[in-house]
Amino acid sequence: MKLDPNHPRPTLQRPGWKSLEGPWNFSLNEADDPKKVRFDRTIRVPFPPESPGSGVGEPWVQVAWYRKVLRIKPRPGLRLFLRFGAVDYRAEVFLNGARVLEHEGGHTPFGLELTSFLGRPLEVLVRAEDDPSDPEKPRGKQALGEPEGIFYPRTTGIWQPVWLEWIPESHIASLRLRPDLEALGFHLEVQAVGEGDAVEVALFPGVRGEVPFGEKPWLEARFPLAGGLARGFLGLPLKGEAGAFLWRPENPVLFPLRLRLLGGRRVLDEVYSYGGLREVSARQGVFFLNREPYFPKLALDQGLWPEGHLAPPGLEALRQDILLAKALGFNGVRKHQKLEDPRYLHLADRFGLLVFAEMPSFFRFSPRAARRYLAELVAALERDHNHPSVVAWVLFNESWGLWPWGPEARSFLQGVFFLARSFDPTRLLVDNDGFEHGSFWDLYTVHDYAPPEVLARRYRQKAFPLAPMGRPLSWEALPEGVRPFLSEFGGVRLKGSTPGWGYREVEGEEAFLQEVLRYLEVACESLLSGFCYTQLYDTFQEENGLLDFWRRPKVPPERVRAFLEGCEARRVLWE
């Protein structure tokens, strides 16, 4: 058994899926009626039309039309679904001229069935509408106007994988895993559709990184279906020290799973997944991994590329970003203002990288903005639930969309925290990263772009400042003994010939390296529970990365890695 790392839905795979990436007919036309659209261009999906990789390169897109003609024969007993990873922002799908689906939300997946249209040519049209000036939708760091400062070129339309999937009439629809360190196993919940009386689950021996999965199951269990739902527990037959089987960045053990939907002795459906046995918690702002204090050393990662903006050039680009972060000595990333491609999360699971996932912000609070945000948040929590690398969710960033504060926004912040906790109690939550924390949070995150010597004065003592950048860190009095998590700092730019910017600027490669190490030294030697350095690589005009936008190192990665590997010895220990 071997999982496909390029599968667009890594935690629920079926073999035989077909990618629809590549050339599609394309039009920039604001019409509502497909009969009024002339497809006079070609676009390379899934690159957005604003990006060079698309072959279009239009900077200001409001409505984009896509066209693909499929010629597919029916398969007896199977249904065919068309899947979209993400289309920004509002998508309408037409089949042979008839409007059959509408989806709102630019970062979450959706799909539709094509079975009844097979046996003859099928014209698939997608109308993607993305108002460039709308501040009431989750848009992250896409500029409302011209790209400048910390806001970048926009992404419209299809920007994550599009694929076809054959599914049996009776099939497994979803899998939800919850690791249990106390019992050393996984609680599982399987939702099935159609016939079937049981789900058989086979668990294979744990693997790490590129090691191929074994062919013989380690254990097999059968769980009865009731009302289309099967629940149960898979206890691992561990021999020796249990710690060797726990997932962490230094030991990213994954347990492959095969699930079969059974109807009597018949196998009605078969899917593949995996799980990682790990637990995260927090006490007084301190991060615990597998019930032991752990020091997250993160880099800010904005998930942008010159060729595709939010869309990666391919699987290898995702792999490269993870391996570069680890080569620099970081054990995690904060995916800033973007819901990342699930294939990235799968690679983070495999190679061992903590991921702080983050909801893209809207920029004007209203009931409409709140409804849109909640819909995408719930879909994101569901999509990424089974990835062990995702250890925390950042719900808001620097009060974006919540400012100026009023009672509605304060109530919304608190309500979102409890909603997220109810959907996923297995991960840590950051309510409002950087400033103006509410009453409830797991990690007390701080943004502070002061010079290293100022950071040293502020965070090497217990009485750290409560408004280091002129904004209150919290609306409430802090409990005694809370350790802050410095989730944005640094931002050093290597002075060059381009008109980019950074929070600080130095000249010469060695001076750049030494300034970066000064920041990291302060983060290691302060009373912090973790840190996130700004940033892993340059993003358009923001040139404060350790790598440039094309992922070429500005510093010798081995020197940064050696420094960070010594971080534990210099760190001020928990009392």
Question: What are 240-278's pLDDT values in tens digits?
Answer: 678 889 999 999 999 999 999 999 999 999 999 999 999
- Over residues 429-451, the mean pLDDT reads 96
- Assess contact for 296 and 319: CB atoms under 8 A: no
**Amino acid (one-letter) located at 65:** W
User: Where does residue 429 rank: exposed (0-12), middle (13-18), buried (19+ CB within 10 A)?
Assistant: buried
pLDDT at 481: 87
**% of the chain at pLDDT higher than 90:** 87
Query: Which sign does the torsion angle of CA 387, 391, 393, 397 carry?
Result: negative
- Over residues 31-44, the mean pLDDT reads 94
Categorize the per-residue pLDDT at 572 as very low, low, confident or very high, splitting at 50, 70 and 90: low
- Assess contact for 311 and 155: CB atoms under 8 A: yes
Query: Residue 378: left if φ>0, alpha if ψ -120 to 50, beta else—which one?
Result: alpha
Q: Rounded CA gap, 327 and 333, in Å? A: 13
pLDDT at 482: 92
Closest C-alpha among 536, 461, 543, 477 to residue 504:
543
Mean of pLDDT over the chain: 94
Q: Which residues contact 176 (CB under 8 A, 6 or more apart)?
A: 188, 189, 190, 385, 386
- Assess contact for 554 and 548: CB atoms under 8 A: yes
Exposure pattern of 274-284 as b/e (b: 16+ CB <10 Å)? bbbbbbbebee
Q: Which of 302-316, 415-429, 460-474 has the lowest mean pLDDT?
A: 460-474
In the chain, DSSP finds a helix count (H) and a strand count (E) of 8, 33
Is a pLDDT exceeding 80 seen at residue 215? Answer: no
Categorize the per-residue pLDDT at 496 as very low, low, confident or very high, splitting at 50, 70 and 90: confident
- Give the number of other CB atoms < 10 A from CB of residue 46: 29
Strands of the sheet with 286-289, listed across from one edge: 280-283, 286-289, 292-293
Q: Which of 79-88, 118-127, 497-506 has the lowest mean pLDDT?
A: 497-506
- Angle at CA 328, nearest 5°, toward 429 and 457? 65
- Give the number of other CB atoms < 10 A from CB of residue 266: 11
pLDDT at 120: 93
Q: Tokens 């206890």 label which residue?
A: 235
- Assess contact for 203 and 256: CB atoms under 8 A: yes
- Give the number of other CB atoms < 10 A from CB of residue 155: 28
- Give the number of other CB atoms < 10 A from CB of residue 49: 28
- Over residues 510-524, the mean pLDDT reads 96
* CA distances, 246 to each of 92, 179, 208, 276, 326 (Å): 43, 10, 11, 7, 19
Closest C-alpha among 86, 88, 21, 30 to residue 53:
21
φ/ψ of residue 497, rounded to 5: -90, -10
What are the E-state strand segments in 130-277?
157-158, 162-168, 171-180, 185-193, 198-203, 207-208, 219-224, 229-235, 253-263, 266-275
pLDDT at 574: 47
Is a pLDDT exceeding 60 seen at residue 573? Answer: no
